[in-house]
Structure 1
Amino acid sequence: MELNQAPVAEAGMLIRRPVAEVFEAIVDPAITTKFWFTHSSGRLDEGKPVQWEWRMYGVSTKVEVSEIVPNEKIAMRWSDPPTTVVWTFTRMPGNTTFLEAR
């Protein structure tokens, strides 16, 4: 990593659910609030900012989606200073999905 380059983090996991269900779990706050944040101002959609809240910690962040490719990719910016996060959804054998965030 160069001296002035921002740090990069990557995470991935195999989820034993079909890719369409995993994708929907990330874009639909009715599902996402069951395992990640506690409240959202709306569904993730390209060009539509939403607010995510973790009420138990008293924190929130604005999320702006720049690109959605259904069942394949979500590119977004959040936090302050803005951080770009790209989620990729890869269909795997046995009706499973590899979800990667970087």
Structure 2
Amino acid sequence: MLIRKPVVEVFEAFVNPDITSKFWFTKSSGRLEAGKQVTWDWEMYGFSIEVNVKAVEKNSRILIEWPGQRGPTTVEWIFTPRPDGTTFVSVTNK
């Protein structure tokens, strides 16, 4: 997905729950940092999920593991800055 903001702002929006809660989940137990476990809550659905943060490479990559239907799955976000000041974010569920 293309986001019309610089990579520094886009990356911060994904690791900082004060920002992420404005567009994705409603609440988080903490900032995404490698080695931490956080809980994401979607209060409007009465749903929460435990997220294990496997890797955080500033302004570049986030790798998490969370429960899937057939066991844990990993999700990877790659942040690619573009020459025009926008950021391309690719998301892969492995």
Q: Give the TM-score normalised by the residue count of structure 1.
A: 0.85
One of 34, 53, 65 as aligned partner of 1:65: 53
Q: Does 1:29 align with 2:17?
A: yes
Q: Which structure is larger by alpha-carbon Rg, 1 or 2?
A: 1
Q: Give the structure 1 partner of residue 78 of structure 2.
A: 88
Unaligned runs of 5+ in 1: 1-12
Distance between the aligned counterparts of 2:50 and 2:38, measured in 1?
A: 6
CA displacement at 1:79 relative to structure 2: 2.2
SS, match of residue 79 in structure 1 = strand
TM superposition outliers: structure 1 runs of 4+ over 3 Å: none
Distance between the aligned counterparts of 1:89 and 1:96, measured in 2?
A: 10
Unaligned runs of 5+ in 2: none
CA displacement at 1:89 relative to structure 2: 0.1
Distance between the aligned counterparts of 1:68 and 1:45, measured in 2?
A: 6
Given residue 30 of structure 2, which amino acid in structure 1 is its aligned partner? G
Aligned residues: 90
Q: Give the TM-score normalised by the residue count of structure 2.
A: 0.92
SS, match of residue 56 in structure 1 = helix
Give the structure with the higher percent helix: 2
Q: Give the structure 1 partner of residue 36 of structure 2.
A: 48
Residues 4-39 of structure 1 show CA distances to partners (whole Å, capped at 9, x for unaligned) of: xxxxxxxxx100000010000000000000000000
Aligned-pair Cα RMSD in Å: 0.8
